[in-house]
Amino acid sequence: MTDARTTGISSDCADLIQQALQAQRSLFASGKTRSLTFRRRQLQQLRASLVAAEDDIFAALKADLGKCELEAYISELALVTGEIDYALKHLSRWSQPRRASIPFALQPARGQVVPEPLGIVLIISPWNYPLQLALGPLVSAIAAGNCAIIKPSEISAHTSALLAKLMTQTFAADYVNVIEGGVETAQALLAESFDHIFFTGSSAVGQVVMRAAAEHLTPVTLELGSKSPCVVAADANIAVAARRIVWGKCFNAGQTCVAPDYLLVQKQIKDELLAAIAQTAADFFGKDMAKSPDYGRIVSDRHFQRLHTLMTDALASGKKIIGGQSDPATRYMALTVIDQVPPAAAVMQEEIFGPILPVLTYEDLGEAIAFINQRPKPLALYFFSNDAAQQKAIVTQTSSGGLCFNETISQYAVPALPFGGVGHSGIGAAHGKAGFDTFSHYKSVLKKPNWLDLSLRYPPYQGKLSLLKKLL
């Protein structure tokens, strides 16, 4: 077959994609990808390839995002190998058929729910965690017995090229195929019929993906962005909160889908918290963050310009606490904390996805909850407080993809916690068993023996209803 792992696909894009799909359909139809031994071997090979390529992965992520090695390791490489280890550990249990109970009137019979792979799945990934957001879903797709085509982001070009190279070395193209390219390539892929589309990216493109999927009635998982609120109550441990907020906001220079987007602070502790945040930022990154080897860069000029406009606008309407420095040449932007930002400001209207932290205040928790509930349901919600009653109010009175108490962003790293949005922040879930379920169909199987075949259910029905009513 022709290998469609081509960069810069142009006019023959559709042909190459169709050939790639055809090859995968043949492999899937052979049944080879269904065997648990096969799935395990592929996961082990993927793990070995990634571990062997650690230095290349670090270099590519440094080139794309200025990512330091520690962040690259914990948020990209170790997350994928962790997902692989978790899947290898649980695969036999996940893939077992489950027994289903049978109502008395349908006895004798056996009921089973049997997980089966969907077929050929399309994974479209973004640039902010370009390795992990392409390979995390791939681990689940392989574990569930599927073939996959990955379309990584054109913006994280170094990591996407490395990803294509690694997958070519690790897998046959009729099993896992990386097709690089931009919007045009994504749209050519979306024009084809897949058995599932797993998309991670912006809400606007999520709508494009869902529209295209509707043409083929293809099920979708949409992992989207949102404005994730970070609420800090008066009883919070201020020093710990400041550290975890600065860490979660500055990780990958704020370009994290679950980064705390804005602060909602209980009024009486605002000054103390903001002073602690300023001190923490200096402790973590020094007086000049631009010189810190641990602080990343904005991915592209376009995103830098977008963030610069948001920052300038917010600084004009609010009060700067720290930050404001930036350099378009290196795409550096300091952590910029801005107090007294009006809720109508542009920075409070869209997902920030960068190191700008607007600060708003609330008097009592009901006000904070109302503020959150007046906006689209976020991907993550963070609440800093040890008060059980307030924690319960947050759990029961708000809705979000995930929720952390006294923590930011770490929920993503727990394979046993399904990861996904709700409402505008996404559809479906990833990681661990949830990821396996996403790429599986749960087939209901009813098995009847022939030795008993009561005439009660067959026509003519006359005189049978009253007896049936007693049985059902």
Q: Which spans of this chain sit near ligand NAD (rule: CB under 6 A)?
A: 124-128, 133, 151, 153-154, 182-183, 186-187, 200-202, 205, 208, 223-225, 257, 351, 353, 379, 421, 426
Smallest distance, ligand NAD to C-beta of residue 434, A: 12
Residue (258 or 276) nearer to ligand NAD, CB:
258
What is the smallest separation between the CB atom of 158 and ligand NAD, expressed in angstroms? Answer: 15
Quote the CA–CA distance of 264 and 273 in Å, as a whole number. 11
What DSSP assignment string belongs to 20-84? HHHHHHHHHHHTGGG-HHHHHHHHHHHHHHHHHTHHHHHHHHHHHH---HHHHIIIIIHHHHHHH
Cβ 226 to ligand NAD, closest distance in Å? Answer: 7
Cα 445 from Cα 324, distance rounded (Å):
61
CB 144 within 8 A of CB 115: yes
Give Cα 418 distance to the centre of its chain. 10
- If the CB atoms of residues 180 and 195 are measured against ligand NAD, the closer one turns out to be 180
Q: State both tokens at 205.
A: 């493109």
CB of 447 to ligand NAD, least distance (A): 40
- What is the nearest approach in angstroms of ligand NAD to the Cβ of residue 29? 28
Reduced to 3 states (helix: H, G, I; strand: E, B; else coil), residue 15 is helix
Omega into 108 within 30° of 0, i.e. cis?
A: yes
Whole-number Å distance between alpha carbons of 219 and 80: 24
Q: How far is the CB of 407 from ligand NAD (least distance, A)?
A: 17
Residue 260 C-beta-side C-alpha neighbours within 13 Å: 31
- Measure the CA–CA gap between 100 and 80, rounded to whole angstroms: 34
Q: How far is CA 229 from the centre of its chain?
A: 18
Phi, psi (rounded to 5 degrees) for 390: -70, -40
Indicate the residue among 28 and 251 with the shorter CB distance to ligand NAD.
Answer: 251
Q: Which residues carry out catalysis?
A: 223, 257
Q: Are 363 and 278 in contact (CB under 8 A)?
A: no
Q: What burial letters (b/e) apply to 204-232, b meaning 16+ CB within 10 Å? A: ebbebbbebbeeeebbbbbbbbbbbbbbb
Rounded distance, CA 365 to CA 382, Å?
Answer: 13
CB of 190 to ligand NAD, least distance (A): 6
Shortest approach of ligand NAD to residue 15 CB, angstroms?
A: 19
Residue 261 to residues 35, 82, 242, 276: CA-CA distances in angstroms?
43, 27, 14, 18
**How would DSSP label each residue in 243-311?**
HHHHHHHHGGGG--TTS--EEEEEGGGHHHHHHHHHHHHHHHH-S-GGG-TT----S-HHHHHHHHHHH
By beta-carbon proximity to ligand NAD, the closer residue of 85 and 350 is 350
Measured from the CB atom, is 155 or 322 closer to ligand NAD? 155
Report the residue closest to ligand NAD, judged by CB. Answer: 225
Q: Which is nearer to ligand NAD, 112 or 411 (CB)?
A: 411
Return the number of the residue (150 or 360) whose C-beta is nearest ligand NAD: 150
